[in-house]
Amino acid sequence: MTPPTLTTARLTLRPATMADFGAYAAFLTTPRSRFMGGPHDVKTAWDWFCNDTAQWTLLDMGALIIERQGRVIGQVAVCGGPIFPEPELGWFLYDSADEGQGFAFEAAAAMRDWVLGPRGLATVVAYIDPMNAASIRLAERLGGQRDERAATPDGIATGVWRLHAGLRLETKRLVLRKPHMGDLSECVAFWSSPRSHMMGGPWTAEVTATNLQEVIDLWDLRGFGLFVVTLKGSDKAVGLMGAWQPADYPEPEIGWSLWDISLEGKGLAFEAVAVARDWFFATSGQITAVSYTHPDNMRSHRLCERLGAVYDPDTVQIDPPERIYRHSAGGARA
């Protein structure tokens, strides 16, 4: 296939040309490639460069050169074929001066979204040297989780981090995706603040981490859960919304938290919860769900009513005092 050109907030990811080989080889022949088995010789660099390019013809995937303001700063690639047991997402920046600014993450996230989105792969892995702490952090920010059972290329001793095709729901202004532990810092910022008091907070960072892990685990357990809400063009979590059912809930609950006060009053929560609710009813087979709200949380009451939920005084409160609303499949108004 013809390779795509992807554009992010700060970067352009484009197909390689012959002119890109010099910088590629320069990188692979220096100690900066130590986590990729380097330094390598120019012959190996050329083999790899051809492999990364040939992938587009052979497997409809491959490498893209990372450019920032017209300057080549690195490469991001998804490569498969006989060399790897399964498609692998890899990234590198040529110059240490470009590190620490989120460029690798921005490029890798765009490639991840392309390969697990339009390209249609269900899963992709990253092979990372267990000593490469920076790449491991990046893989986890991307949503990768260590996969101890995955095959490695030629049985080499490398760590494998696996990413799954996320569920992605899009609205006019938002993208909803499954949460991962890379969202923890945004979670902590909200749940440690007084703004979380109507949601049962504030919590310590440790409690927040435990609760985020539960949110993630509930997806695997039930097949539905709270989505992380992001603004289009950014992968940063700004809230958690959707239907979920913790172990001690008698039935699914539709809940939401929007973490940035500057985002309130724009209808973003309604936009996100409506699409998450519709997805939940369409895919889970459930026909009803509740929203447990704080009796003083007038904003949430208005949102419930806007969503078509009705006040339900007969349902048992699980953490009184509560004001409970009931949603029905189809979003029918009372």
Partner 1 sequence: MTTVLHPDLSEAMRAQAQARRLEPRNQRAPKLADYPAYEAVFTSDRAVHVGGPFSADEAFADFTQAVAGWMLLGAGAWTITAHGDDAALGWLYLWREKDDPEPELGWILTEAAEGKGFATEAARAVLPRALALFGSGGVVSYIDAANAASARIALKLGARRDPVAEAALGEPDLHVYRHFADKEPT
Distances (CA, A) of 214 to 131, 220, 225: 28, 10, 10
**Which residues lie below 8 Å from residue 214, measured CB to CB, with a gap of 6+?**
246
Task: Kindly state whether residue 310 participates in binding partner 1, applying the rule CB under 8 A.
Answer: no
Residue 56 touches partner 1, criterion: CB under 8 A: yes
Task: Residue 95: count other Cβ atoms within 10 Å of its Cβ.
Answer: 14
23 binds partner 1 per the rule CB under 8 A = no
Counting contacts by CB under 8 A, is residue 85 touching partner 1? no
Interface with partner 1: number of residues (CB under 8 A): 24
Decide whether 83 or 261 has the Cβ nearer to partner 1.
83
End-to-end CA distance of the chain: 51
Interface with partner 1, residue 279, by CB under 8 A: no
**Least spacing, CB of residue 317 vs partner 1, in Å:** 60
Q: Stretches 11-19, 135-143, 224-232, 289-297: which one binds partner 1 (CB under 8 A)? A: 11-19
Q: Residue 46, interface with partner 1 (CB under 8 A)?
A: yes
Helices (H), 178-292: 184-191, 205-222, 268-284
Please report, for residues 177, 258, 268, 299, 328, the alpha-carbon distance to residue 265 in angstroms, rounded to integers and kept in the order given: 22, 11, 8, 9, 25
**Strands 63-68 and 71-79, how do they pair?**
antiparallel
CA distance 185 to 141: 10
d(CA 280, CA 224): 7
Instruction: Based on the shown chain and the rule CB under 8 A, indicate whether residue 318 belongs to the binding site for partner 1.
Output: no
Decide: is 82 part of the binding site for partner 1 (CB under 8 A). Answer: yes
Q: Report helix, strand or coil for 237.
A: strand
When the beta carbons of 77 and 174 are compared against partner 1, the nearer one is 77
Candidates 18-26, 65-73, 175-183, 236-244; binding stretch for partner 1 (CB under 8 A): 18-26
Q: Which of 57, 101, 210, 234 binds partner 1 (CB under 8 A)?
A: 57
| Contact range with partner 1 by CB under 8 A, out of 54-62, 161-169, 185-193, 197-205 | 54-62
Residue 247 is encoded by which pair of tokens? Answer: 């172990």
List residues bridging with 325 in a β-sheet: 291, 311
Smallest separation, CB 4 to partner 1 (Å): 14
Asked whether position 47 contacts partner 1 by CB under 8 A, the answer is: yes
For residue 169, state whether it binds partner 1 (rule: CB under 8 A): no
Q: How far is the CB of 316 from partner 1 (least distance, A)?
A: 59
Q: Which of 6, 54, 167, 205 is in the footprint of partner 1 by CB under 8 A?
A: 54
Of 63 and 115, which has the nearer Cβ to partner 1? Answer: 63
Task: Examine residue 84 and tell whether it contacts partner 1 (CB under 8 A).
Answer: no
Q: Is 43 in the site for partner 1 (CB under 8 A)?
A: yes
Among 1, 83, 287, 298, binds partner 1 (CB under 8 A): 83
> Of 16, 125, 238, 289, which lies in the binding site for partner 1, with binding defined by CB under 8 A?
16
Angle made by CA atoms 146, 149, 151, in degrees to the nearest 5: 100
DSSP symbols for 58-125: HHS--EEEEEETTEEEEEEEEE-STTSSS-EEEEEES-GGGTTSSHHHHHHHHHHHHHHTTT--SEEE
Long-range (24+ apart) CB contacts under 8 A made by 29-33 are 32/92, 32/94, 32/96, 33/92
- Residue labelled with tokens 């539709």: 254
Tell me if 203 contacts partner 1 by CB under 8 A. Answer: no
Q: Is 151 in the site for partner 1 (CB under 8 A)?
A: no
Q: Which residues bind partner 1 (CB under 8 A)?
A: 15-18, 21-22, 25, 42-43, 46-47, 49-51, 53-59, 81-83
